[in-house]
Each structure stands twice: as C-alpha cells, then as structure tokens.
Amino acid sequence: MEEKEWKDWVHWVAEEYGLDLSKERVTEKQRRILEAAIHIFSEKGFEGASTSSIAKKAGVAEATIFKHYKTKKGLLLHLVIPALSRVVVPFILKPVVKILDTDKPLGEIIPELYEDRMKLVEQNWRKIQIILVESLYQPEIREAVQNHVATIIYEEVVERVDAWQKKGLIREDLPAYVVARSILSMGLGFIVTKNILPDKAVQEDQKTELSWTTEALLHGIAGPLEKKETL
C-alpha cells in the first residue's frame, strides 16, 4: 500500500514541476551537477545556494542545469525524491527480513538495528540534512516526509512491537506506540548527541555505547530505591 501512495506522490511532483523521471539515463555532466548540488545545498541551504555556484563547482555551463532540471526547485526535487525512496525502502524492508528469521534476544537485535540504521544515516547525511531543512520551508517535501517516510517507519516499528508483545519480549502494560516511540527516541537521541556533543555524550566505542543504550531502553534507568509506578 505504501508503495502505491509513494508512486502517486512522485508522479504528482513530477507533473507539477515538469520533471522527467522516466529516463534513468544520466550523462556524466548531469551526475556532476547533482553531486555539486548536494554539496552546495547542504552547505548553504537551498536559498543560499546560487545556480551559478553549482554550475561552477560541477564544471558546467549554468544553462546546462536549466536544460535538464527546468528550475532550481526542479533540481532540488531531483535530489530529494530518489534520496527519500532510497532511505525509505531499506528502513522499512531490511528490519523485517532481518528480524523474522532470527530468534536472537532483543538485547542483540536492537543494537544491531541501531547500528546499521546509523550507518545508513551517515552515508546519506548531506541529503538527509537537505530534506529535513527544506521540509520546514517547502510544503511538498514536508508532506512527503510526513506521509511517506515518518508514518511508514513508525507504523512498521509499531507492528514489530506488537508482535514482540505477544511473544512476551516487550511489556504489555504500555501501548505499542509508546514503546515504538521510545525505541525511535533512543536511536534519534544517540545520533543527535553523537553529532552535536561528540566527546561529552558518546565517550566509548560505538558498540559499547549502543549496548548501554539498549540496556537503558530495555530495563530502564531507575535504581533500587525508585519504586515502580502502578499502571
């Protein structure tokens, strides 16, 4: 189902902005334009980046950009759309297969998931940054992120949690969506603190840090004198 909605959205954007997404043929110069655009957009932001600076960095005439992408915003969307689908699909599909065919305890599965999701984020960081920032200013991108990325990831996690609850691996006295939010929050918080406070908030090697994080997530931070609330 999400597959269909996603294609609808892509099709809508393509029509709205006159993008030609059908031909996958990209010339060398087009590749260089996209690469230069990723760098300059992520360094200066969409509005702060000039098409002339992108052309210069790509070693291409400015008119070439407009030949292929019609407008500056068209160029942006040509970056964003493939990046979204390339991040969404692995986020959704990989955990499913990975989890369904193992019987490892959560204490091992979760840090593994965190680890390769973080690798994905690191590899695509520039693109992700562009998408996050521009989703604040461009409604089409915001809607795509909300409806075609965040929602789908979240629902996928909720579904997994639900199954785990039935197996007794997760507490059943908390709603599945609260548990899902907790799992995602701890991962997000790890990434954020690792990037803005590298030496304060992440002091050991990543494996150790992730297993501590998982331990806190699974069994909480309360000490012996803090009594459990009755739900």
Which residues, including other chains, have CB under 8 Å from residue 169's CB and lie 6 or more apart?
A: 105, 106
Distances (CA, A) of 179 to 2, 3, 160, 195: 23, 26, 10, 25
Q: Give which of its own copies, DNA, none residue 18 binds (C-beta under 5 to 8 Å, depending on kind).
A: none
**Cβ contact 201:175 at 8 Å:** no
Told to check if 44 binds its own copies by CB under 8 A, we report yes
Please give the sequence-ordered ranges of beta strands (E in DSSP) within 7-145, or none if there are none.
none
Q: Give which of DNA, its own copies, none residue 219 binds (C-beta under 5 to 8 Å, depending on kind).
A: its own copies
Residues 92, 121, 128, 150: which binds its own copies (CB under 8 A)? 150
Helix 62-69 vs helix 72-100: angle between axes, to the nearest 10 degrees? Answer: 60
Interface with DNA by CB under 7 A: which residues?
Answer: 25, 27-30, 49-53, 60-64, 66-68, 70-73
Q: Give which of its own copies, DNA, none residue 68 binds (C-beta under 5 to 8 Å, depending on kind).
A: DNA
**In the complex, minimum distance from the CB of residue 41 to DNA, in angstroms, rounded to a whole number:** 10
Of the listed pieces 4-12, 24-32, 91-99, 128-136, which binds its own copies according to CB under 8 A? 128-136
First to last CA, the chain: 36
Told to check if 21 binds its own copies by CB under 8 A, we report no
Which residues, including other chains, have CB under 8 Å from residue 148's CB and lie 6 or more apart?
A: 2, 5, 6, 9, 84, 88
Which residues, including other chains, have CB under 8 Å from residue 181's CB and lie 6 or more apart?
A: none
Told to check if 209 binds its own copies by CB under 8 A, we report yes
Report the alpha-carbon distance of residue 120 to residue 90 in Å, rounded. Answer: 9
Q: Give which of its own copies, DNA, none residue 212 binds (C-beta under 5 to 8 Å, depending on kind).
A: its own copies
Told to check if 167 binds its own copies by CB under 8 A, we report yes
The residue ranges that bind its own copies (CB under 8 A) are 43-48, 105-107, 129, 133, 136-137, 145-146, 150-151, 154-155, 164-165, 167-172, 174-175, 177-186, 188-190, 192-193, 196-197, 200-201, 203, 209, 211-229, 231
